Structure 1
């Protein structure tokens, strides 16, 4: 009986030590980024429509389903853009573009200097505060795919530097006097740099 007790105690100690030796990371990661929006400005109306490029704030929340697979929700505040035709400002609007992506992270628990990832998902954009010439209007919502590559560079146990590049497909129909005259494709490239916190 005494030997069985000793063996059981030793086994428990070994198992406890092995459990503590395993790296355990929280499934939650939050990031704050400064993002440069560079619009493709594709236009089929013949008016030469374009919006201005700008820096915007971005906040995202990621949940790791496994150590290498995560789901990321990208959020920001409504962004105001000036709309120009052939280089002349003709109005403005705001857009809110939340994006949801699924990501694969390489070397998620490894000891590398950086941890790259790729992602793909969907974007929904809502246009508001539309201020355009009388009779001219745009469709208020847009659905499109989103593609993503990036990397996290560890700065500490929980803190990391993040570099992120996304291609998001955002487009809207343009109408005049109630009739569609073409499609404006913002389809921006978004380059972001920021900090991430794993908790």
Structure 2
């Protein structure tokens, strides 16, 4: 599955690069900066390989505000920086020791995508691909574990969205992203289980957003 998404990422960048090269004449009629505020639903597509005790992982969905800034290199080629933070309850399920609540953790996943925006009058579709670096912080280990540690991680991002014009400056935005995100987790359960347990966790969240945007200048 990861190989398929990596291949799609390479193909998307190749498509964007080809279209950028074709835009040989400078067009200064477009707005270079635009700002959006979105409401996000973050839905994890989680799975895990847990050492010693086996089982899987369950990560609770979250709903948060998000801010992003887009810069247009040309009328069609842009880069978008996405900033948001989420909080998720985590549980190890179906292990040899039963279901184990592992508290919660906050994620800060700044994401940079390169986008291709298609020409249109009122509705402006776009596709994008890029990278993110997820920071895990403010871990709460819950009632069983002594401590839970998450490794910060790089991931790939894929994006599809639409901007719907309200005026020349204001627009409504619909956006969807899929992140390939994996982290190594260490659960210190010495008190409860007499051991530390490692896990390889795929989070792979689907992120759906709706918001409003403004073209700055």
TM-score (norm 2): 0.74
State the match for 2:8 in structure 1.
Answer: none
Query: For structure 2, which runs of at least 5 residues remain unmatched after alignment?
Result: 1-26, 94-98, 189-194
Change (3 A) 1:83 1:176: closer
Q: Identify which of 81, 86, 90 aligns with 2:88.
A: 81
Offset of residue 56 of structure 1: 1.1
How many angstroms apart in 2 are the aligned matches of 1:24 and 1:180?
Answer: 57
Distance (whole Å) between structure 1 residues aligned to residue 187 and residue 71 of structure 2: 44
Cα distance between partner residues in 2 of 1:61 and 1:180:
40
**More moved, 48-57 vs 117-126:** 48-57
Q: Secondary structure at the match of 1:174?
A: strand
1:101 counterpart residue number: 113
Paired with 1:36 and 1:118, the residues of 2 have a C-alpha distance of 19
Aligned ranges for residues 62-141 of structure 1 at < 5 Å? 62-76=70-84, 78-86=85-93, 89-107=101-119, 110-111=120-121, 113-132=122-141, 133-134=144-145, 137-141=148-152
* 1:48 aligned onto 2:56: yes
Pairs aligned (count) = 174
Point out the structure with max Rg over C-alpha: 1
Counterpart position of 2:212: 195
Q: Contact conserved, 1:35 with 1:56, CA < 8 A, in 2?
A: yes
* Matching of residue 163 in structure 1 with residue 171 in structure 2: no
